[in-house]
Amino acid sequence: MSNMPTHTRLLRHAPEGFLSPADILAVQQGRRGVLSSAFKAALSVGALSALPVNRAIAQAATASGLAGEAAGDPNILQLPLHSKALGQGVATTGYGSPSAYEKNLQRRQSPGLTQVTQASVSFCPLQGLFGIITPNGLHFERHHQGWWDIDPTQHRFMVNGSDERMLKRPMVFTMDDLLRLPSVTRTHFIECGANSGMEWGNAAVPTVQYTHGMMSCSEFTGVPLRMLLEMCGADFKRGKFVLAEGADGSSMTRTIPMSLIQDDEVMVAYGQNGEMLRPENGYPLRLVVPGVQGVSWVKYLRRIELGDMPYATKDEVVGYVDLMKDGQHRQYTSIQEVKSVITSPSGGQRILAKGFQNISGLAWSGRGKIKRVDVSVDGGINWREARLQTPIQSKCWTRFQLDWNWAGDAALLMSRAIDEVGHIQPTYAQNRKVRGSRGIYHNNSIQTWSVEQSGEVKNVQLA
Ligand SMILES: Nc1nc2c(c(=O)[nH]1)N[C@H]1C(S)=C(S)[C@@H](COP(=O)(O)O)O[C@H]1N2
Ligand SMILES: [Mo]
């Protein structure tokens, strides 16, 4: 171990910050009986009911010195203070926060990606999330002109038509008006169209947080836009598109086709995971456009206009157009196509012991539900079908898992998702054939993580 580069000691097993560098060293050196209870907890995470999994876990535990020996673990034998003394009282914090031991789990900027933080992005730590819900404080952020905490009593939301025949009664809603109306609640992913955009040319960033973290998934609550348009006497024959406009300085404006709105999926949302939206995510009101790229989910939503043509706004002409291989651009490609990624083990992590490894990741499609996820540990030669965690919801993250026995050999981990319309997630080679390698948007290529014999996991791309 002495010739190991020092930086590897900083690499941690998921979830991030779970094991201290001393714990990692202990596992690597195979010291027995000194494992922290944290590692035990790590081993007990997940569905362990199936017998083969139990056996694999037992093997993993034995290999790391957990089972068999009564080595006199002081963490068991010496009662800690929290078992003997009085804990803290209720409402010590009026709004709770994560454990101090989880402080490594942070959304992060990509150093050097943007010049100012107000027109930038912070990435969601996908490697540290369980299930399919993103905690509100870890939701990725994308601002074009900085975020604001807008006074909801002052916020106004207007619905108008491009001319008076389009919509009979233009209306202005306060937040109170909207909160009085019947609401709907649904769980959906939001993915920036530029997610994985840095990877079009080559493997550029080290961790899943940076390769795929311009994405989050939440339960949203709001009012269907269709209902508001009906209240305003919209002409659904004439009206073919709406323009959504935000109240921040970027004047974010996007065209949404009525075909999406007729489905009742598009909502004017104020709720996120059971509470009001966070200021960074558009408080007090944002548009939720399931399956569509993040830019159309206009935050600080102040106006919807009904019209009969796409609006070709600055955010639909200068940016958010797809560069193709022949140098032309493709416009209005807004659906986030079928995609998946293994979040553990993933880039920057290190597998600490041979034996059982739970491969876990996320799959999603802007066209509906995930039908199947296949996982390969040999760079795409052989594939095994992963277990999907139910319920599987439309335009929502689906968590997948696969049991793996890591024998200590080099491996190439990949996941490939298939959605309910039958679309199969493409390889980099397939995507580049059509799209080239110089674009930014809509990269849904299969991600590869290389596991080295040392257990180190790295971001790679296969030729
Ligand atoms: N008003 C407003 N809405 C906006 C933006 C913005 O800068 N201003 N950014 C858009 C982009 S590009 C994305 S990817 C999503 C990001 O949403 P989030 O910050 O809640 O993650 O918001 C979209 N809506
Ligand atoms: Mo975005």
The Cα–Cα gap between 432 and 323 comes to 11
Give the number of other CB atoms < 10 A from CB of residue 20: 13
List alpha helices for 282-388, DSSP H.
314-317
- CATH value at residue 220: 3.90.420.10
Q: Is residue 371 domain-shared with residue 416, that is, in the same domain?
A: yes
Per residue in 217-250, pLDDT tens?
Answer: 999 999 999 999 999 999 999 999 999 999 999 9
Q: Are 219 and 280 found together in one domain?
A: yes
Cα–chain center distance at 5: 31
**pLDDT band at residue 70, thresholds of 50, 70 and 90?**
low
Ligand sitting nearest the alpha carbon of 190: 1
Distance CA 1, CA 46 (A): 31
Residue 111 placed within a domain: no
Determine if ligand 1 sits within 6 Å of the CB of residue 252: yes
- Residue at 157 is within a domain: yes
The answer to whether the CB of 144 is under 6 A from ligand 1 is: yes
**CATH number for position 405:** 2.60.40.650
Residue 18: inside a domain, yes or no?
A: yes
The reply to whether 245 and 174 lie within a common domain is yes
Query: What total number of domains does the chain contain?
Result: 3
Among the candidates 330, 360, 379, a domain finishes at 330
| pTM, to two decimals | 0.88
User: Does 31 score more than 50 pLDDT?
Assistant: no
Instruction: Map tokens 């553990």 to a residue.
Output: 344
First vs last C-alpha separation in the chain = 32
Mean pLDDT, residues 151-174: 97
Nearest CA to ligand 1 atom 16: 142
pLDDT in tens, 403-454: 999 999 999 999 999 999 999 999 999 999 999 999 999 999 999 999 999 9
Q: Is the CB of 299 under 6 A from ligand 1?
A: yes
Ligand 1 centre and the CA of 389: distance in Å?
29
Letter string b/e over residues 280-302, b meaning 16 or more CB atoms within 10 A of that residue's CB: bbbbbbbbbbbbbbbbbbbbbbb
Let me know whether 236 and 308 are in one domain.
yes
Are both 252 and 193 inside the same structural domain?
Answer: yes
SS3 276: strand
The answer to whether 346 and 127 have CB atoms below 8 angstroms apart is yes
Inter-CA distances, 15 with 87, 203, 367, 378, Å: 26, 23, 30, 24
Mean pLDDT within 88-104:
94
Which whole number is the average pLDDT over 308-331?
87
Ligand 1 centroid – CA 330 distance (Å): 21
Token code pair at residue 141: 């952020």
Domain of residue 412: give its range. 339-460
Q: Is residue 78 one of the residues assigned to a domain? A: no
Answer whether 217 contacts ligand 1 (Cβ < 6 A). no
Do 286 and 310 lie in one domain? The reply is: yes
Q: How far does residue 212's CA lie from ligand 1's centre (Å)?
A: 16
Mean pLDDT estimate for the chain: 88
Last residue of a domain, one of 277, 303, 330: 330
Cα of 109 from ligand 1 centre, angstroms? 15
Percentage of the chain surpassing pLDDT 90? Answer: 75
What is the C-alpha separation between 49 and 56, in angstroms, rounded?
A: 12
One domain, residues 353 and 290 = no
Does the CB atom of residue 348 touch ligand 1 within 6 A? no
The 3-state DSSP composition of the chain as helix, strand, coil percent (nearest 5) reads: 20, 30, 50
Write out the E strands in 198-354: 215-224, 241-246, 253-257, 267-272, 275-276, 286-288, 301-307, 322-323, 329-330, 339-344
In a domain, 11, yes or no: yes
Q: Is residue 183 part of a domain?
A: yes
Q: How far apart are the CA of 101 and the centre of ligand 2, in A?
A: 31
- 240 and 378 in a single domain? The answer is no
Pocket of ligand 1 contains residue 295 by CB under 6 Å: yes
Q: Does the beta carbon of 294 sit less than 6 angstroms from any atom of ligand 1?
A: yes
Last residue of a domain, one of 330, 361, 385: 330
Lowest mean pLDDT among 23-37, 258-272, 361-375: 23-37
> What average pLDDT does range 355-365 have in this prediction?
96
Residue 78: both structure tokens together: 């010496």
Model pLDDT, residue 359: 96
- Model confidence band, residue 28 (pLDDT cutoffs 50, 70, 90): low
Instruction: Looking at the structure, tell me whether residues 58 and 148 fall in a common domain.
Output: no
> Is residue 92 assigned to a domain?
no
Q: Which of 150, 179, 158 is nearest to 278 (CA)?
A: 150
**Would residue 93 count as lying in a domain?**
no
Q: In this predicted structure, what is the pLDDT of residue 55?
A: 56
Same-domain check for residues 154 and 224: yes
The count of other CB atoms within 10 Å of the CB of residue 278 is 16
Query: Per-residue confidence at 14, pLDDT binned at 50, 70, 90?
Result: very low
User: 315 pLDDT exceeds 90?
Assistant: no
Shared domain for 197 and 264, answered yes or no, is: yes
Q: Which residue do the tokens 């070709």 mark?
A: 312
Helix (H, G, I), strand (E, B) or coil at 459: strand
Q: Does residue 13 register a pLDDT over 70?
A: no
216 Cβ neighbours under 8 A, 6+ residues apart: 124, 134, 138, 139, 140, 189, 190
Domain match, 206 and 288 both = yes
**Per-residue pLDDT tens digits for 204-214:** 999 999 999 99
Cβ of residue 281 lying under 6 Å from some atom of ligand 1? yes
- Residue 251 confidence (pLDDT): 85
